[in-house]
Amino acid sequence: MTLLSKVTQAARNAIGRPSPRVLTVKDAWFLTPNMIRVVFAGPELAGFPTGREGGNCKLMIPDIGETKEGFAARLQGGLPPVKRTYTVRKFDAATGRLTIDFVAHGDNGPASRWASQAKPGDFLGFAGPSAPKVPHFEADWYLIAADPSAIPVAAATLEAMPRDAEGVAIFEVTSPEDRQNIDIPGGIDVHWLIQPDPHVPSQAQEDLIRSLNWPAGRVQTCIAGESGVIRSLRGFLATEKNVARGDTYISGYWKIGLVEDEHQKVKRAEAG
């Protein structure tokens, strides 16, 4: 355990971790062929913090056929449910609606399966959210890159940016129909790349980033996606472009062939 994680753990123990909320689905639909949008609403969202778009959260997935009451009781100290990490795509305080977008990558992932069957009245557990991944915009230009799992954090970051921001945004999606409408500042040069099989390692984002005519000045990044792609890009930014660590948000969001718990273990081991 690193010093930072020991301190974080001690702080959590001291103040107590807030209990997870049990959220209820208001609506769910395929936003694009491979992305499911789930909107939650209800009294459990009272007091939900604003300005956390792009922050992450932990979702607890009920077992198939589990009742809401049984699941809520289980969250209070019973057998821990499957837990997965997602992003707050939007929270509308006026209507009390929370939006989370799920990649539809098949039924072998409990979260993907849950989302593909979600309908009004369904429920899951929610803990968080964290602060946004890019809380301040102070750069001369921005580099944003995302595979489908990271479109929510990339989109939230782009939507929060000053409207005169400049830079480059690269999205890699499964099909042309998976492109989304995002409110992106006009000075951001947007590229949509198509990678039909997300389980085949892709070089396209890195190739494009390496080919950029790197603008002068301070750059801030918001880059996330499959861990193999991220590992290579992290090295490029740190050693070849000397991007300051504090200006770099770059994170592996999943890994080909690993379920999230295994992927998290690998990440912790790599972080030391």
Ligand X SMILES: Cc1cc2nc3c(=O)[nH]c(=O)nc-3n(C[C@H](O)[C@H](O)[C@H](O)COP(=O)(O)OP(=O)(O)OC[C@H]3O[C@@H](n4cnc5c(N)ncnc54)[C@H](O)[C@@H]3O)c2cc1C
Strands 97-103 and 90-92: antiparallel
Report the DSSP beta bridge partners of residue 37.
Answer: 29, 101
Count of residues touching ligand X (by CB under 6 A): 26
Calculate helix-pair angle for 227-235, 204-211, nearest 10 degrees: 20
Q: Between residues 141 and 222, which has the closer beta carbon with respect to ligand X? A: 222
Stretch that binds ligand X, among 9-17, 105-113, 176-184, 230-238 (CB under 6 A): 105-113
Q: Between residues 140 and 183, which has the closer beta carbon with respect to ligand X? A: 183
167 in contact with ligand X (CB under 6 A): no
Q: How far is the CB of 186 from ligand X (least distance, A)?
A: 26
131 in contact with ligand X (CB under 6 A): no
In the set 194, 244, 258, 266, which binds ligand X (CB under 6 A)?
258
Three-class DSSP category at 270: helix
- Which uninterrupted H or E stretch holds 169? strand 166-173
256 in contact with ligand X (CB under 6 A): yes
Three-class DSSP category at 27: strand
In the set 108, 211, 239, 242, which binds ligand X (CB under 6 A)?
108
Q: Between residues 166 and 260, which has the closer beta carbon with respect to ligand X? A: 260
Answer whether 99's CB lies under 8 Å from 37's CB. Answer: yes
Q: Please, which residues have CB within 8 angstroms of residue 232's CB and are 6 or more apart in sequence? A: 206
Give dist(CA 236, CA 251) in Å, integer: 14
Position closest to ligand X via CB: 109
Q: Between residues 101 and 178, which has the closer beta carbon with respect to ligand X? A: 101
Give dist(CA 142, CA 176) in Å, integer: 24
Give dist(CA 24, CA 172) in Å, integer: 31
Answer whether 56's CB lies under 8 Å from 129's CB. Answer: yes
213 in contact with ligand X (CB under 6 A): no
Stretch that binds ligand X, among 39-47, 84-92, 134-142, 154-162 (CB under 6 A): 84-92
Give dist(CA 151, CA 225) in Å, integer: 9
Q: How far is the CB of 35 from ligand X (least distance, A)?
A: 8
Report the DSSP beta bridge partners of residue 221.
Answer: 143, 248
The pattern of x and - marking residues 30 through 59 that bind ligand X according to CB under 6 A reads: --------------------------x---
The pattern of x and - marking residues 176 through 205 that bind ligand X according to CB under 6 A reads: ----------------------x-------
Binding site for ligand X (CB under 6 A): 56, 84-87, 101-103, 105, 108-112, 148-149, 152, 198, 253-260
